A and B are shown apart, each in its own frame.
Chain A
Amino acid sequence: MSDPSVSALVAEETATVDRVQGGGSLWSNAWRTLRRRPEVIVAALVALFFVVVAAFPRLFTSQDPQRCDISNSGIRPQWFSGPHPFGTDIAGCDLLASVVYGARPSLLLAFIVVGLSVLIGVTLGTLSGYYLGWVDTAISRAVEVFLVIPLLLAALLLLSLFRTVDTGSSVLGSILQPALVLTAFGWMGYTRYVRANVLETKNLDYVVAAKVLGASDLRIMVRHVLPNAIGTVTALIPTAIAGVISTEAVLAFLGIGVRPPAVSWGILISNGSERFTGDSQYLLLFPLGCLVLTVLALVVLGDGLRDALDPKLR
């Protein structure tokens, strides 16, 4: 989201406003605030670590998570003393490899869902806030309709209805359905947020000035209104990603999330919980630990970002 050219633009356009408030642009101010909070730095590093795990699983394990030897079933964690640092599950699959490769569907799903939701939300929110009238009416009603449908109910219904549709066994194919459903019920918040900000921004003097000078609607929206409206939305993103990761775990627990044979953290947690009361607690604790750590890091990061970016809280 913090595309340098956008930041530059924002800096340029809002220079006067910000300088009055305390010098530096919104983004460089935010950066300065964040830098001073150690917990945010740690959280960012943890989140970054898991992103690297998802992007380059081979750096962390040489095993194939789909290669399961039943004769190696149920090995307890060996740490650094054997080929299975986290042990193996009941089918003999290496747990470290499963957790490492499971990060990709989990995180990719979260990024896709939040990315698409933000895109839809920002577009619709800007349009509705800028034009008002019937555009606003249509979009706002749509937002309300989607908001009253509980996410889990809708996800349960849609995902079990289309359970039999084959979307292929690639990583994208296995997360396609949950991604679509979660996006369909995840864009409303951003729309409302952006709409409110646009309503506020579009009456500012510099926007009026641009209008008077004859700038087109598109130019005003993209270059003048949006950059100012988007800050608060950015602060929501890490928390939203954390939310989707947890939702994926819930869906997996209900058996309708990411599709096997792809493994996700949710599926690992769901499988591990079956045997938790036996003596195989590690099967649940490792994936759960990764999930909790990632979610926690993202929430802390989101919190810091909001403090830094939301001018109203300052």
Chain B
Amino acid sequence: MTRHVRLTVTAVATVAALTLTACGSGSDDSGTSGTSAAGPAGSGQSGAGSGAAPAGSGAGAPAGGNDAEVSDAVVKLVLNQDVDTLLPMDSNVGDNIGVLDVIYDGLVRYDPKTSKPYNYVAQDIATKDNKVWTIKIKDGLTFQNGEPVDAAAFARSWNYSAYGPNAVANNYFFERIDGYEPMQGEYEEDDAGKVTVTKEPTAKELSGLKIVDPLTLEVTLTAPFAGFSTMLGYTGFFPVAKACIDDVSGCAVKPIGNGPFQVDQWDQGQKLTASRWDGYTLPESPAFTGIEWTEYAGKSSWPDFQAGDIDVSAPPPALWAQANADPDLSSRKVESPGAALTYIGFPLYKGKPYDNIEFRKAISMAIDRKTIIEKILPGQAVPATSWVVPDGVPGGKAGTCEWCRFDPAAAKAALAKAGGWPAGQTLTIHLGKDETSEQYFKAIGDSIKLNLGIDYKLDPTPDFFDRRSSRGFTGIFRNNWFPDYPLNENYLAPVYGGGDAKKGNKNLGFYDAKFEQAIKAGDAAPNLDEAVVKYADAEKILAADFPTVPVSFSQNVAFYSERLDNVVLDPFSGSVELRLLKIKQ
């Protein structure tokens, strides 16, 4: 009871603080109370939509349902990763994708239960041949600064992403659109993100994008791809305002969205606050007025959750059993199957012994996935026996990985067949800096040592992604693939495809012509169902080549505070579906 009271008090206090911040930089420290600040609140903002209209009447959303019971509360969430941008074109990690989910709206959104896409900002997406797609956009939508959300807004964003020297993380999503190649050029990016262009691209815009009329965008792909409309809900396909392209670095910190929430302030590394945008007209709008994300950068937010400062959290592995045994806490637990695959990669580009399939089989069969997960990550993962999450996305099937079972004897035999491990050498396991995965991979290393007699050492590194893409690894490494859109192709082509025939692809050094063919066959399929079958064939080829070792699929778990209701987890990111979340009055 006491905790509940305290929660409400902090929530109210934060609302007051938020309204104070919202009234602009001029009038801080004046000591005004929450109520007197509410008057001028909107005036600091620019643009049309954000006037001082009271929350309830805002925009008169028709089919909302949510709007009827908007709570005054501020939901307090957590960012675990070190987020460095909120630019949709450059956001590709779970946490900024989770934030942008309420700041922006995409052409399609995904059903949290079935993960099927449905049109949202799009009125209609049509194609005859899977090559030329016509996207009609709903009329009357605007950005938070008043600019219209139209075909140009999408073309603007996609052209920006596709332009190589912009060096954004979501660049590769646009390789299927006509005119992608001439936009790449050659460039180098240093550690600070500064780009030096060595060869100017010959084009500045995607030739495959055509603005037919203000609300119609025609997209021509290089080759038919039945899954194109499924991709469109991904963060990288969100529209951006013109003002955003004019000031990209400002927009990366304070996005101009078209979603139900707008970012108020982001103290990078500390805290991100967002509040309801009153000009929002589409139906799916959260039922509360503010969100506050606190950044933890890999530390556990659990103590703060228990102190009542955070609304959603999960305990660290050491406290897992205790939290689950607590009847009060476990009554506020939500679980759902996740879709992220944790797998072990090999530096295939380093040659022996990593390029020997028998060695990779030996590593795979030496890992006691079931027991390790039971002991280290109980309830947070399930052993993986495939590369595509079974049941979660179309085409996913369990058991495609023949050597994902635990069999120490077969593992030893495979290692012997591979020529053994060089005596006296230590196997390095590279991974990102994160307490939980360090414990997880220590157990995996122990399993390898126990069953194969290979000494190992962990190398937790803060610049994991840079080292991986520059092929700086000398041993096996931990990877986590978290799908961008619900299609089995997304687990395959972006990770294993597109490589150079000799050198292999960038991160893994993998290339198989048969695999590329199977992916192409899937892309060319006349409809999604047939495409999925073809992609599944590609997974079979992958299973035979065995370039990586699937370890586990995530299991989304979250504990939530007493004031939250209707907590649903997104099957992809595992974060709370903010648009469905309700606050108990």
Contact = CB atoms under 8 A, between A and B. Distances in A.
Given A67-B449, A71-B368, A261 B457 contact: yes
Nearest to B456: A261
Interface in B353-372: 368, 371-372
A216 B349 CA distance: 67
A74 interface: yes
A71 B316 contact: no
Interface residues of A, number: 20
Given A71-B368, A278-B322, A260 B375 contact: no
Interface residues of B, number: 22
Contacts of A2: none
A169 interface: yes
Contacts of B446: 67-70, 91-93
B439 to A, nearest CB: 8
Contact of B372 (A70, A169, A261, A279): A70
Given A70-B447, A169-B457, A90 B375 contact: yes
B450 A278 contact: no
Given A71-B368, A261-B457, A91 B322 contact: no
Contacts of B443: 68, 70, 91
B426 A169 contact: yes
A76 interface: no
A129 to B, nearest CB: 47
Given A66-B449, A260-B458, A90 B319 contact: no
Contacts of A261: 457-458
Interface string A256-294: 000011000000000000110111000000000000000
**Of listed B322, B368, B372, B446, residue having the most chain A CB within 10 A:** B446
B271 interface: no
A91 B449 contact: no
Given A90-B376, A91-B442, A277-B322, A71 B458 contact: no
Nearest to A280: B318
Contacts of B321: 278-279
Contacts of B371: 70-71, 73
A67 B319 contact: no
Nearest to B450: A69
A258 to B, nearest CB: 14
Contacts of A90: 317-318, 375-376, 439
Contacts of B376: 70, 90-91
Given A70-B443, A92-B446, A278 B375 contact: no
A70 B375 contact: yes
A278 B455 CA distance: 31
What's the dominant secondary structure at chain A's contact region? loop
B318 A278 contact: yes
A14 B322 CA distance: 66
B474 to A, nearest CB: 11
Contacts of A278: 318-319, 321-322
Interface string A236-261: 00000000000000000000000011
Interface in A54-76: 66-71, 73-74
A274 B318 contact: yes
A278 B457 CA distance: 28
A168 to B, nearest CB: 10
A314 B426 CA distance: 57
B318 A74 contact: no
Contacts of A93: 446
Interface string B315-332: 011110110000000000
A74 B375 contact: yes
A103 B390 CA distance: 48
Interface in B437-476: 439, 442-443, 446-447, 449-450, 455, 457-458
Nearest to A73: B375
A68 B376 CA distance: 13
Contacts of A169: 426, 457
Contacts of A91: 375-376, 439, 442-443, 446
A67 B445 CA distance: 10
Contacts of A275: 318-319
Given A68-B450, A91-B443, A278-B318, 8 more contacts: A68-B443, A69-B450, A70-B371, A70-B446, A92-B375, A169-B457, A261-B457, A274-B316
Interface of B: 316-319, 321-322, 368, 371-372, 375-376, 426, 439, 442-443, 446-447, 449-450, 455, 457-458
24 contacts: A67-B446, A67-B449, A67-B450, A69-B446, A69-B450, A70-B372, A70-B375, A70-B446, A90-B317, A90-B375, A90-B376, A91-B442, A91-B443, A92-B375, A92-B446, A93-B446, A169-B457, A260-B457, A260-B458, A275-B318, A275-B319, A278-B322, A279-B321, A279-B322
Task: Please list the 7 inter-chain residue pairs (A to B) with the smallest Cβ-Cβ separation, ordered nearest first.
Answer: A68-B446, A274-B318, A73-B375, A275-B318, A70-B371, A278-B322, A70-B372
